[in-house]
Amino acid sequence: MGVCTSEIVHLTPEQKAHDKKLDEKLKEDNRKESLVHKLLLLGAGESGKSTLYKQMTTIYGNGFSEEDKKKFRPIVHSNTISAMQHLCRASGQLGKQGKMTGDKDLESCSVMDKKVIQCIKSILELRPLDDPLTEEICGKMKIIWKDPNILHTFKYHRGKFSLADSAEYFFGRLDETWKPEYIPDLQDVFRARVRTTGILEQRYLHNDSQFNLFDVGGQRNERKKWIHLFENVTAVIFVVSLSGYDQLLYEDKQVNRMDESLRLFDEICNLRWFQRTNMILFLNKKDLFEEKLPQVPLSLCFPEYKGGDDFDSATKYIREQFEAKNRNPRKQIYTHVTNATDTNNVLVVFNTCQDIIIRKSLEQAGLLMN
């Protein structure tokens, strides 16, 4: 029977120096890797992801030059015309529905003024992608926007049809946006809506750490493009439109936007790819939400909600609905209430999030104690 013996290996000074260099290199590689953070902006369509992305371009990137802003002029024109057309069509359709069903409130959506009816007819003939705003067109839109039946449709029934959140803002800019010298300002740029197709990437530095931010389309047909981005993600920033609780999806007029966001968050939060990924929840469009609550009860979407039109109670309730979707007791959801069109608000929130991300990354790399 043989006896096994172990031989003690003595390293030469050169080998010890080499091993020390390797250890130092591994530590340095870990340190560098911990300083590069991959962030995904996810969420359902119309949640405000692209507005947040534009804000990051302004805050950390090169911003928007005069030439960049000029490129948004036709987008502002298209958004304004398209929004007015949607509002006018909805007014007519809801009014007819009210007459057929005997619903006096819906019937009040029908425009009665002959001058306004003529203006509507003219606006509906426009092609949003081809026709620029003119003084004459904006004049007709101003007449339409003052009509009590149109305002009734907008104020009490906008949840029944798809209308961009920026509609009221651009209707308030009709005296400016048609002028030949008009160049969109930053607020116009932030509110101008172009549906994201494909994937946008932006890189920036914060406290000596590199962040790679990805913005992807939120509509259902765009989500299949997300999948290859799921590897090595430092944090998911999931964006929800607080004001979407009474609105329908652009791509499916039968589905409530808040219900869709809850379903999608449930799916994203519990994916196996994201077991160790920081999950940041942005409850966005707080300004629109606060404005809408007294007019449209949150119980319309959540029948069990009993908090009335108190902003804090309503926000807390929605936050709890999303955080309850997390099935991993070791995962923490970092929730922030945001307004993506407010640069100061975005700056404060993003700085806080980035500090959390940096700390968690250093902990996972073994470079910082819990």
Supply the residues annotated as catalytic: 46, 51, 193, 215, 219
Q: How many residues does the chain have?
A: 370
Q: How far apart are CA 6 and CA 23, in angstroms?
A: 26
Beta bridge partners of 332: none
Question: What does residue 278 show for φ and ψ, rounded to 5 degrees?
Answer: -60, 135
Q: What are the tokens at 223?
A: 């989500």
Q: What are the tokens at 13?
A: 């000074």
Q: How far apart are CA 338 and CA 356, in angstroms?
A: 17
Q: What are the tokens at 167?
A: 């509609």
Could you tell me if 51 and 196 are in contact, meaning their C-beta atoms sit under 8 angstroms apart? no
Question: What does residue 368 show for φ and ψ, rounded to 5 degrees?
Answer: -150, 135
Q: What are the tokens at 275?
A: 């077991």
Q: How far apart are CA 228 and CA 54, in angstroms?
A: 23
The strand pair at 199-206 and 209-216 is best described as antiparallel
Nearest one of 21, 328, 56 to 189, comparing CA atoms:
56
Nearest one of 336, 286, 338 to 314, comparing CA atoms:
286
CB atoms under 10 Å from CB of 33, counted, come to 12
Q: How far apart are CA 255 and CA 131, in angstroms?
A: 32
Could you tell me if 294 and 241 are in contact, meaning their C-beta atoms sit under 8 angstroms apart? no
